[in-house]
Structure 1
């Protein structure tokens, strides 16, 4: 037997995997594995694996994960050993509200990462939803530091960044447009999603290419033990998911589909009124998406994962006067990942992916028509190596390369008889690559560091750009219940979204860094403190941040965005900065759970005179439309009994910044002609719309078990429960004298989008 002094120096490796009990092939990334008596713990990697260096002897090892019951295992460690965990769901799949175990809050307290939010699809399903359609991205808008773009939108504006500055990943594959229905819903079907991680700052070195946030979505791998069917029937859409084993113990699959049926009703209404010459047809609209995932074990150390997504929005209008208009857009994503385990401390993930986003408008009037489109297509190869040499270090290395094809303007036009025909095609190519390394280092029990460096570059034709992107984060435990945190990150963005917000329909063109269009860059510093309160039942965090960005992009007045080979000349370049304070209180134990978040923030942009223009706002700083001074969210989930769950969410934000005319002057260009009123505008966005506030309520009623052994529920939602008429936009009406028909003045009118909207959804699983 070794002497006590030498025995204390001996450490054995405890390693294993944390998976879901219901789906043993479903790893739980981000789960906590800890030995509380020693104050040692770690989180699982993307494949659910973990490793700890522990002294010999008997230990209690605790594994926990959001939405799953905490599991404690006893181990007598006399040598290197493997220990696997299979966590059971904390309640039933459809009606769960109570999230047991304090591991998730302790994990947030002890991890180095700050400015990170994790959301499971199980949590999102419980919250009230617009038209009953569960939306992962809209749920993220309820977190501090995340602003929505306006009534009903699912676009994210994170810590002063614009919507195109978010890196959205689906199983490591890029998604360019994460929205359906002009931004009202996200493309992520909650039935196919396992979890979502939102990074608002302190970005790990493996992420790059965007300035403001990372939204990392992981799909469920499917049930490897038995075939199951689940889905839902709602007011505007239905969904269906099938999953089961490919070969028991070897692999599983999941396929999930969703479709709206606006068009079924509108087509019938149009058909009934087709003989009325004064009838204006209702536009045709629907969207659909399809998700698929499969995994298969090639052996004890190798596993393949295949992910696919296809989604499309279709909008059409056919008038009785011969005017036809078609508009559609959508994403295609495919990813193949190979996971290889060299040792319990060293494993490799290699992913090849294809991403495509396409936007197309077609128009036909009598005998003449045109088709206008843009698209972007990416082919990406990335490889990530994780190595845990001991309990103090966790190393990660990786390389990624992407080949971009930008179709910035494709035009086909002509007459139906072929007498007039012309077209245009503007295509650019680019290559983006990055190399990174990072280390999570724990020098003492109280101090933990995470630091890394990313080298990125981009080339389009003869133009090339690149730079170093340092990342750093630190956590210091003042006491077992109080931690101080800080982070810094520098980010580059090499592709840019060209959007004309003044158009009647959105125009999405992705454009590369080339010629005079240099990559955007941002830096962010953040600091905060976290308190674990009430015997671990509550977590209170307070974070402050400051972000400054260079080479921000906007456009000249009257810029020609489509089919323009000199699009570089339409850009204006400026700078931006944002700063704020985020206060967050969260509870995840007991029959009543939820959170309260409050953000106080400022966002500004400045574009000086350039390219023969006065810049924007005559070169003076201005607030963008998504600047919000105050943002308050309250989310409550309460389990009334075993069959009834009550939910509610309240949102209050300051009004959006907007530009309205100060007044008007009469202008007469021809003597004797009727004078016209010309509006006089002040500086950009000097006015604020009325504050936005909304209360949503929900009830989940679990029905009696299905005879076949399945389960089902009815989900009732009331969106905008007290019928608040929140402003969508403001326009001005003429006020005329009834006798003379002379314009006396102008009156502001507010347009609101959604009144109170009740909905009901039937969910099932068998």
Structure 2
């Protein structure tokens, strides 16, 4: 009885092994249209897990488990070829092939560049501003990453270009020159800059050699645009240093932008050497309305209100200095308080006429 079972098991296993053996062996050579040898051509049997590549001479060998199958030849830059094979019995066959290049001819393409090649201007990537760590939270923080721009206080939006003074930098918003207010101090007493980052759609910066239409200051020019939004939006951003609310409304011929910001960096100021009671409160409101009467003529109005109040009741200051062997410490006690208040308002109406529509 055991011999019968062993005989049946041997018969089944033998049939499985024989049935798994490939029935058809396919060889051939792949050439190009100029009889050049094509290497790394993928040859595969569709519906089976069989594939191979041509060697340095363009030769290949592949096996099929059935007598009727489909071969596919594929190489990047050449048209793929599919060949159906129907053999009556197992054996060896030869299939040579010539692949034709796949030429995709494009229609005429015109490439234009609106950037003035004679202008020494850098385009600022607005998307980088969202991921840029900044204590001040002002738009000018991204300028400090550009070559030739330096600053001496991370709490300030003021910057120096190529060794120039901090008041030699021009700022334009929608072709309107922005006058920087004269502050008593820069840094911790300084609030929000004019530019609202949530309203900016594009900006460019020049560290010298800019066009004459920007004026005669020698250091730099920052040109910012508040453009038409793609859709109606309401953006709310809040954090430990402040809150920002932005609204964008667009119609067929006009659009309206409004931005409100509040800043309180007392959590940063309390970590300074000067210990005391800090109460910095800064806020601003900014609006822009533009109406396009036609493709050639448009009228826009820009308004801004900036209010800042800084209060400080200092207590003491501790400064450590000296060498490794001799360490000294200086303690200073204060009496009195500091109160700085700023209120800045401005507006502009701009009419734009373009003989040729943009």
TM-score by length of 2: 0.54
Contact 1:197 1:216 in 2 (8 A): yes
- SS of equivalent residue, structure 1 residue 289: strand
User: Residue 159 of structure 1 corresponds to which residue in structure 2?
Assistant: 162
108, 119, 141: which one pairs with 1:113?
119
Distance 1:188 1:298, change over 3 A: same
Q: Distance in 1 between matches of 2:290 and 2:352?
A: 10
Q: Distance in 2 between matches of 1:187 and 1:340?
A: 26
Distance 1:242 1:139, change over 3 A: same
Report whether the alignment pairs 1:201 with 2:208: yes
Distance 1:330 1:194, change over 3 A: farther
User: Residue 307 of structure 2 corresponds to which residue in structure 1?
Assistant: 312
Distance 1:210 1:144, change over 3 A: same
The within-5 A match list for 1:367-386 is none
Q: Distance in 2 between matches of 1:207 and 1:294?
A: 23
Deviation at 1:304, TM superposition (A): 0.9
Q: Distance in 2 between matches of 1:194 and 1:201?
A: 23
Contact 2:205 2:220 in 1 (8 A): yes
User: Residue 699 of structure 1 corresponds to which residue in structure 2?
Assistant: none
Deviation at 1:298, TM superposition (A): 1.8
Distance 1:233 1:209, change over 3 A: same
Where do 5+ consecutive residues of structure 2 fail to align?
1-106, 270-274, 316-334
- SS of equivalent residue, structure 1 residue 128: coil
Q: Distance in 2 between matches of 1:287 and 1:335?
A: 23
Q: Distance in 2 between matches of 1:221 and 1:180?
A: 33
User: Residue 122 of structure 1 corresponds to which residue in structure 2?
Assistant: 127
Distance 1:195 1:327, change over 3 A: same
User: Residue 93 of structure 2 corresponds to which residue in structure 1?
Assistant: none
User: Residue 329 of structure 1 corresponds to which residue in structure 2?
Assistant: 342
Distance 1:264 1:137, change over 3 A: closer
Report whether the alignment pairs 1:242 with 2:247: yes
- Which 4+ residue blocks in structure 1 deviate beyond 6 angstroms? 263-266
Deviation at 1:151, TM superposition (A): 4.3
The within-5 A match list for 1:568-717 is none
213, 216, 220: which one pairs with 2:223?
216
Deviation at 1:319, TM superposition (A): 9.3
Deviation at 1:329, TM superposition (A): 2.1
Distance 1:319 1:155, change over 3 A: closer
User: Residue 296 of structure 1 corresponds to which residue in structure 2?
Assistant: 291
- What do residues 309-353 of structure 1 show as CA deviations (whole Å, max 9, x unaligned)? 221220125799x966431124322111111233459xxxxxxxx
Q: Distance in 2 between matches of 1:128 and 1:317?
A: 26
- What do residues 223-252 of structure 1 show as CA deviations (whole Å, max 9, x unaligned)? 5xx43211211111010101112xx31111
146, 149, 153: which one pairs with 1:146?
149
Report whether the alignment pairs 1:170 with 2:173: yes
Contact 1:309 1:332 in 2 (8 A): yes
Deviation at 1:125, TM superposition (A): 1.4
User: Residue 110 of structure 2 corresponds to which residue in structure 1?
Assistant: 61
Distance 1:167 1:213, change over 3 A: same
Distance 1:330 1:199, change over 3 A: farther
The within-5 A match list for 1:34-45 is none
User: Residue 355 of structure 2 corresponds to which residue in structure 1?
Assistant: 342
CA RMSD of aligned residues (A): 3.4
Report whether the alignment pairs 1:255 with 2:244: no
Structure with the higher fraction of residues in strand conformation: 1
Q: Distance in 2 between matches of 1:330 and 1:118?
A: 32
Q: Distance in 2 between matches of 1:282 and 1:339?
A: 49
Q: Distance in 1 between matches of 2:118 and 2:267?
A: 51
Distance 1:285 1:190, change over 3 A: same
Q: Distance in 2 between matches of 1:121 and 1:329?
A: 29
229, 232, 242: which one pairs with 1:227?
232
Q: Distance in 1 between matches of 2:278 and 2:351?
A: 45
- SS of equivalent residue, structure 1 residue 244: strand
Q: Distance in 1 between matches of 2:267 and 2:235?
A: 24
Q: Distance in 2 between matches of 1:263 and 1:141?
A: 23
Q: Distance in 2 between matches of 1:336 and 1:177?
A: 20
- SS of equivalent residue, structure 1 residue 163: coil
Contact 1:175 1:333 in 2 (8 A): no
Q: Distance in 1 between matches of 2:314 and 2:143?
A: 39
Contact 2:189 2:310 in 1 (8 A): no
Q: Distance in 2 between matches of 1:180 and 1:293?
A: 28
Distance 1:174 1:188, change over 3 A: closer
Q: Distance in 2 between matches of 1:235 and 1:215?
A: 28
Contact 2:192 2:284 in 1 (8 A): no
Distance 1:150 1:129, change over 3 A: closer
Contact 1:222 1:293 in 2 (8 A): no
Q: Distance in 2 between matches of 1:282 and 1:134?
A: 22
Distance 1:215 1:292, change over 3 A: same
- What do residues 94-152 of structure 1 show as CA deviations (whole Å, max 9, x unaligned)? xxxxxxxxx7xxx77x71112x222143221122233xx64321211111111112444
- SS of equivalent residue, structure 1 residue 155: coil
Where do 5+ consecutive residues of structure 1 fail to align?
1-57, 64-102, 267-279, 346-766
- SS of equivalent residue, structure 1 residue 175: coil
- SS of equivalent residue, structure 2 residue 130: helix
Comparing both chains, which one has the higher relative contact order based on Cα–Cα distances under 8 Å and sequence gaps of 6 or more? 1
Contact 1:137 1:154 in 2 (8 A): yes
